[in-house]
Amino acid sequence: MFLKVFICLALLANLTSFAAGADLYAKYKKPGASFVVNKKLSPGANIFLHESPAIALEAVAKADPKNPNTGLRKAYEAFAKHFAGGQTPIETVKDGAIESKNGDIPFRMYRNHEPKQDRVIVYVHGGGWARGNLNTHDELCRRLCSNTNSVVIAVDYKLAPEHVYPAGFDDVKAVYDWVLQNRSSFGIDKDAKIIMAGDSAGGNLVTALNLWLIDNGKDLPHKNILLYPALDLSIPEETDNDYANGYLLTQDSINKFVIGYVGSLEKAISDTKNDPYLSPMLASPEQLAKLPNTLIISAECDPLEAQAKTFISKVKAAGNNNIAQHVEPGMIHIYAQFFRVFEGASKSLEKMVEFIG
């Protein structure tokens, strides 16, 4: 184990922002190394799957053994530290907290000099509703701020299983309302348009927020960006999804995340069949018809990519064509925040910047 971790850290020290190609594999084909290439995946995705277990094990070993959730959260933070890339310079990065009836909600604001006045981006991180924080998605938010010259506000909602649904959802609603009421305090127009963005579980929360706003007759975001969102939280007895096992995110791990988010297996089986704020795939045609302009960015080798296609079909069947999908080839779930290893991360960032305008 020590040797594997040592090799892992030595290799990671040499990682740079690289292009895809056979030369990339050469760095990892060391004598005696068990590096197996999955030809469906990009070079960076192969390297991530090869190196991430040792990083996760090392992080878990340093965590509190009495609380397994701390180990998983430490592992996610370790991934971000090793794979996200260097910190993009931003003029002002400020942490704060929003008061709500359920307690303070931490946030991080990114702002460059003379930002665009007509928009603000609110980012909701992923992590299975159980991990992730302001640090794990810091570089992605920095690049969104830098490349769009927009104020970006990242949300640190409450995590499961300590805080089950709807705690995190309520936090996202509270932050959206706070941004809606306080835009002028960010140094931008008081009527600046809000662009909601989120990955995985964060994409689920952003979509659920839209449905709730529609149902309650409130102002909707100007646009949504959903990175490989979790849209169907039902617990299937079996699946024929080609990427449901062996590509980092598995159907089994999805089920466990959902159970932790909802609180129990019984509630997960029941509630994910009835609550569209929990499982947005259940949204009615009336709700879907009112969704604002939405871009879904998917990873080709991700079990959630099929969900996105189904959801888009339902939105269009409801008469709403303001939704599109971009699928990044050879990518796996989680790729878009790790610019140092995934070739598709920068490409997807370009798609987001183009969509934001």
The pLDDT of residue 154 is 98
Question: Which residue is listed with tokens 């990671």?
Answer: 12
Same domain, 181 and 160: yes
Rounded mean pLDDT, 10-23: 40
Asked whether residue 63 falls in the same domain as residue 129, the answer is: no
pLDDT at 240 over 60: yes
**Distance from C-alpha of 352 to C-alpha of 304, rounded to nearest angstrom:** 19
The rounded distance, in Å, linking the Cα atoms of 250 and 290 is 32
Output the pLDDT for position 2: 34
Kindly list the distances between the CA atom of residue 106 and the CA atoms of 77, 98, 126, 155, in Å, as whole numbers in the listed order: 17, 6, 15, 7
* 190 and 332 share one domain: yes
- If asked whether residues 287 and 162 sit together in one domain, one would say yes
Give the domain extent around 297. 92-356
Residues paired with 323 in a beta bridge = 294
Q: What percent of the chain has pLDDT over 70?
A: 90
* DSSP 8-class letter at 121: E
For this structure, is 298 an active site residue?
Answer: no
Which one-letter DSSP state was computed for residue 19?
-
Give the pTM: 0.92
- 43 and 113 belong to one structural domain: no
Section 338-348 average pLDDT: 96
**pLDDT value of position 314:** 98
How much is the mean pLDDT over the chain?
91
Residue of 146, 200, 298, 348 marked active site = 200
243 and 288 co-located in one domain: yes
State the Rg of the chain over Cα.
20
Task: Give yes or no: residues 7 and 115 share one domain.
Answer: no
Overall number of domains in the chain: 2
Cβ distance 124 to 152 under 8 Å?
no
Among residues 32, 62, 83, which one ends one of the domains?
Answer: 83
Of 13, 48, 83, which one is at a domain's C-terminal end? 83
Q: What angle do CA 126, 127, 129 make, to 5 degrees?
A: 90
Q: What is the pLDDT of residue 297?
A: 98
Query: Please, which pLDDT band fits residue 90 given cuts at 50, 70 and 90?
Result: very high
CATH number of the domain encompassing residue 239: 3.40.50.1820
Both 344 and 308 in one domain: the answer is yes
Q: Which of 119, 86, 309 is nearest to 221 (CA)?
A: 119
Interatomic CA distance for residues 74 and 57, integer angstroms: 10
> Which of 83, 116, 149 corresponds to the end of one domain?
83
333 is catalytic: yes
102 and 76: one domain?
no
In this structure, are residues 107 and 155 in contact, taking their beta carbons and an 8 Å threshold? yes
| Mean pLDDT computed over 55-78 | 88
The per-residue pLDDT for 16 is 37
**Average pLDDT over every residue of 350-356:** 98
pLDDT digits (tens, 9 = 90+) for 285-302: 999 999 999 999 999 999
SS3 of 332, please? strand
Residue 10, pLDDT score: 35
How far is it, in rounded angstroms, from Cα 24 to Cα 96? 40
Q: Is 143 found in the same domain as 70?
A: no
279 and 226 housed in the same domain:
yes
Residue 52 is among the residues annotated as catalytic for this protein:
no
Identify whether residues 149 and 44 lie together within a single domain.
no
Residue of 82, 125, 137, 333 marked active site: 333
Which residue among 146, 279, 302, 348 is the active-site one?
302
